[in-house]
Each structure stands twice: as structure tokens, then as C-alpha cells.
Copies of this chain bind each other. A is one copy, B any other.
Amino acid sequence: MDALILSYSDTRRLVDMVGMDVIMRTCIDRLRNGFSEVSRERWRGCPPRNGFVHDHSVGGGVIENMPYLEVNRGMTLKTISYKPNNNAEHRLPTVVGAICRYSDSSGELLAICDATVPTAIRTGAATAVASSMLARPDSRTAAIVGAGLQAVTQIHALCVSFALERIQVYDIDRKCAESLKDRCNFTSAQFEVFDDPHGVVEGADILVTATSVRPGAGPVVRDERLSSHLHINSIGSDEPGKTELPLSVLNRAYICVDHLDQALNEGECQVLERDAINVTLPDLVGIARSTGQPLPQVHDLTVFDSTGFAFEDHVALDVFLDFAAEAGLGGKFSILDGPVGLHSPYSTSATN
């Protein structure tokens, strides 16, 4: 059976063909539906990711393997590397990897998709799902700390979900902060670049932190000038020691995590006890669905601790594979090509 390859260029082309809003909205809808359908049984398919933390002598970062299995729908396995030096050393994005789909029935490799674009989009989509539950529906001002690649899909996802009018930007690299407006030319919101990460939060209804801060060097914002109703999406915390928010913020916020064990292992919540976490995003979506109405906006300060987990990649890969099939996009290759020797690995054998 042939396997499908969607390269990085294929995924970019697919976004152009289908439309970035359609792809993002489809991801948001499927994530939301997936979360709300979740039963305890189904979530057993999503263990915390596992991987390797690079020593800072080799530039730090992590390389992780994120498996998710859904019976009769396959195993999705994303291998994803986060290397802060990738831009400078390799002219590659900070986050690089591949998403593989295997048949859970036979073990065959069915598809490989470059992870760059789907990862950025599904991380944005998770922020949209969380923010639509936790931020004020009339949010108009977003602040973003860390203006790299992930910032683009964070803003895109928020623009799809809120009528944003103003986006306040900070990055340690001012040029990068200044270029974000051009990279987000899909929105007519006003961009303002700030010189410090503290002023940037003032007046924001929603804050996104998406930095490459080194482990131990956080937080990246202070517990100052935050709106009382602020909703924070913390995207960057994804390795031990790497946190973006002050403990005082976490201590008084209503905290929603994507994946409980991951959040405690490597998210913002690594500095908290398990019982300090209020809810998981799947549970939050499930509760809202079952009560038939959005949650009352009882919470002031809220935090979504987004570590990014394998179910999201499973959903994103489905979205890309479905649109690619419609568009006839992607290459084919054969890995388990025949005739396959069922009883010998050697072709010198008399019987196969």
C-alpha cells in the first residue's frame, strides 16, 4: 500500500488552496468536537509525550515523541524538535518535525506530514477553543510576548474567534516584533510594538506568551498592569524549567490545562501542585456542551497552560489529510512494498 507524503511546501500550498481561515476554523471545530466527545476510555490513548532534553552545551531544547492511538482510526506519532538555535544555525524554524500516521490494525506507515504548519495551526486552534471559553466574548485587545512563527497562528486563531481591534507586541528582538504586523496581514487590527514586556500587557483582554525563554530565565511578564479580567494563553512552556508566567499570577488565576500530566511535567503548572489546577480543556468543553450553554463568565484572571498534546496533532493531521485528498495534493511512496515475505526476511529462502 502506498503511503502519502505531505511536505512542508505541500502544507503551505494546501493552506493557500483551501484558505487559511477555512483550515483554522476546521481545526478549531474538530478540536472542540473531539474534546467534547472525550470519554475517559478514549483519553487513555493519549499518554504524556516522552523525549530527550538537550544539554545547553548543544544549544538546549528538546526532541519529543507524541503518540496518540484511536482504535480503528490509527496511531498518530509526532516527533517534534524545539531548538532555539535552529534559525541561526540551520535557517530552519525553531520547531521542526514530522507527523506520522500508522495503521493500528496492521502497523503499516500510512502517511508522513511535515509538522511545521500543522503544529502552528493546531496550537493556534487550541488557544481559540480555550479563549472562547475563558476570555470575554467582547475582547478587543490582545497582547503577545514573543513574536516568532507561533505568534502568527496565535493571532490568526484569535482573529477568527474575536473581533480584535488592537494587537500589542513585544519581542526581545525588536525587528521581529515590528515584522509581526506584516506577517499578520490577514487582519486589519492595529499593531503596536512595545519596548518592554511589562507595558505590553496594559489594557489587554487576552495575552499570549509564546517565547523561547531559556529554562530558569522566566517569567517573561510581571504581575503588573494586568486587566482584572485578563485571559492568558501560555504557549511556550514545554520543557522542565521553562516557564513564562509569575507564580503570583498562577496562584490567583483559574487554571485550565490541555493535558494534566504534561502540564505538571513541563508546562506552566510544573511549579504547582496537581490540586491547584482547576480543569482540563476537554473537560471544560465537555461541561459546556452537556449544560448546553457557555460557561458563565465568573472568572477574572484565567490561564490556559498549553503544552500541546498528541490528540491535537491527530486531529490536525486528519484535517490536512482530508483536504489533501480533496485537492489531490502530496507525494506517494511505498515502504512495505511487495511481495512481502511472511515467513522469511531473506529472498534466498526457497519459500517466501
* A contacts, CB < 8 Å to B: 5, 7-9, 11-13, 15-16, 20, 45, 47, 50-52, 54-55, 58, 63, 65, 67, 69, 71-72, 75, 77, 79-83, 86-87, 89-93, 95-98, 100, 102-109, 112, 114, 116-117, 120-121, 148-149, 152-153, 156, 176, 179, 182-186, 331, 333-338, 340-351
Minimum-distance CB pairs A-B, first 3: A81-B107, A96-B107, A182-B350
Shortest Cβ distance from residue A125 to the other chain B in the assembled complex, whole angstroms: 13
Copies in the complex: 2
Interchain CB contact under 8 A, B336 and A333: no
A343 to B87, CA, bound (A): 9
Shortest Cβ distance from residue A159 to the other chain B in the assembled complex, whole angstroms: 12
- Among B152, B333, B347, point to the contact of A349 (Cβ < 8 A): B152
Interchain CB contact under 8 A, A15 and B346: yes
- Among B47, B105, B108, B351, point to the contact of A183 (Cβ < 8 A): B351
- Among B92, B153, B186, point to the contact of A342 (Cβ < 8 A): B92
Closest to A71 in B: B58
- Among B71, B89, B337, point to the contact of A9 (Cβ < 8 A): B337
Q: What are 29 sample pairs from A and B whose C-beta atoms fall under 8 A apart?
A: A5-B333, A7-B335, A8-B335, A8-B337, A11-B345, A12-B346, A15-B345, A15-B347, A45-B52, A52-B67, A52-B69, A65-B65, A77-B79, A79-B107, A79-B109, A80-B107, A81-B106, A81-B108, A92-B107, A92-B342, A96-B107, A98-B109, A100-B100, A112-B335, A116-B345, A148-B343, A182-B349, A183-B350, A184-B349
